[in-house]
Structure 1
């Protein structure tokens, strides 16, 4: 896997500082397992966080402190030059991010929520060509299986959506999303994913607010499935 779509720097920072919502952290961790670029960004965020905290000689008032740290770290992250693929570390190998692995094996970050095997997944019908599984402990953490060549309803986002592509692929106005890619979206994005022919698209998504659908049928389904 060589992902072309990566985590936003703010998401990397939130993961590094443990300030992401639990559901978002699960999806971010699943992406980090297979993305050397974002693992390097995470290491940079962790290093920068330690340096910036040590340099807080005259910290601002507490209500502004976290915002100031966030802005400073984001600026440093975005200014970090790309140095090419980083060397894989031992923990990368242990987590299955180097070399071949069992294609039926779920990413380690998803195993506590969905099990270890794709074959063992028990899908629930959501709409024609769309099935889902909701994580028992986290209702807004959802795995989706979408039939090949399926056009999903046009929608935007109440706040943030983080989606990791596991199998298959889809296209939308933001580009082509294949296995390993992550869609890190906010409320400014309106899109209509269309899955590619041949193989069902399996992805895992985390939402921190309901989706906003434009069609009446999709809005009816939303009331039933709480998306």
Structure 2
């Protein structure tokens, strides 16, 4: 898998700095698990961030305090997501590892909820912002919409096309409120993606706007 669409550099920088919410971090982590190029970019950002920290003045720590701090960072700090194409990850039924805490490990164990003709979703609970899995039947058009804030979507299975191009497994759409689009899923298999949003979508059609409070998108 070699993704062609990636998170914005600013999004990766925020991830490196620990400034993303858990919902957006989950999508970035899932992409990092399949994208060698972004993992390398993140390593460079982490190294630059580490150098900047060493140049800042601060209160000197005792040797004991420094050792405890390093131990805490090693224990709780975010680890680089494991590549999803590693031998232990070849099972096609497994979701990307970073999504397991929110949705479980297996595609076949997912409990989808109907929200419209050919459209189902699963919403993660207990996370800031909105994080959900979305499954859209092949050959379907989603309503034309813009975004009330930011949206980060990664394709897990299937594909879709919109004004921004063709999005296949591993690709990420990093969108803001300046983007208006209407994804159309490719024929063949359902399109499954994971999406994080920090504000409701803004639909153009009156029917989609009427149904929006019911589906909470």
Say yes or no: TM over 0.5: yes
CA RMSD of aligned residues (A): 1.5
The match for 2:72 is: none
Q: Shift in Å at residue 222 of structure 1?
A: 1.1
Is 2:1 aligned against 1:11?
no
Matched, 1:111 2:106: no
1:164 to 139, 144, 154: 154
Report what 2:175 is aligned to.
185
Choose which of 187, 209, 212 in structure 2 pairs with 1:219. Answer: 209
Contact 1:113 1:137 in 2 (8 A): no
Please list the CA deviations of residues 85-127 of structure 1 after superposition, one character each: whole Å capped at 9, or x if unmatched.
xxxxxx77x5433356000001111111111000011110001
The equivalent residue for 2:71 is none
1:130 and 2:119 matched: yes
Quick check: 2:32–2:83 contact (8 Å CA) kept in 1?
Answer: no
Report the alpha carbon displacement of residue 16 of structure 1 after superposing the two structures with TM: 0.7
Alignment partner, residue 70 of structure 1: none
Matched residue count: 193
TM-score (norm 2): 0.85
Alpha-carbon contact 1:108-1:116 (below 8 Å) kept: yes
Report the Cα distance in structure 1 between the residues aligned to 2:16 and 2:85, rounded to whole angstroms: 19
Shift of 1:56: 4.3
User: What are the ranges of 5 or more consecutive residues in structure 2 without an aligned counterpart?
Assistant: 58-79
CA distance in 2, matches of 1:149, 1:36: 30
2:84 maps to 96
Residue deviations 1:5-24 (CA, integer Å, cap 9, x gap): 01111111111111001100
Name structure 1 gaps, 5 residues minimum: 58-90
Partner of 1:60: none
Q: C-alpha separation between the residues in 2 aligned to 1:109 and 1:118?
A: 14
Q: CA deviation at 1:52?
A: 2.3
Work out which of the residue numbers 112, 129, 133 in structure 2 matches 1:143.
Answer: 133
Task: Report the Cα offset of residue 137 of structure 1.
Answer: 1.9
The residue aligned with 2:196 is: 206
Is residue 188 of structure 2 the alignment partner of residue 195 of structure 1?
no
Deviation at 1:221, TM superposition (A): 1.7
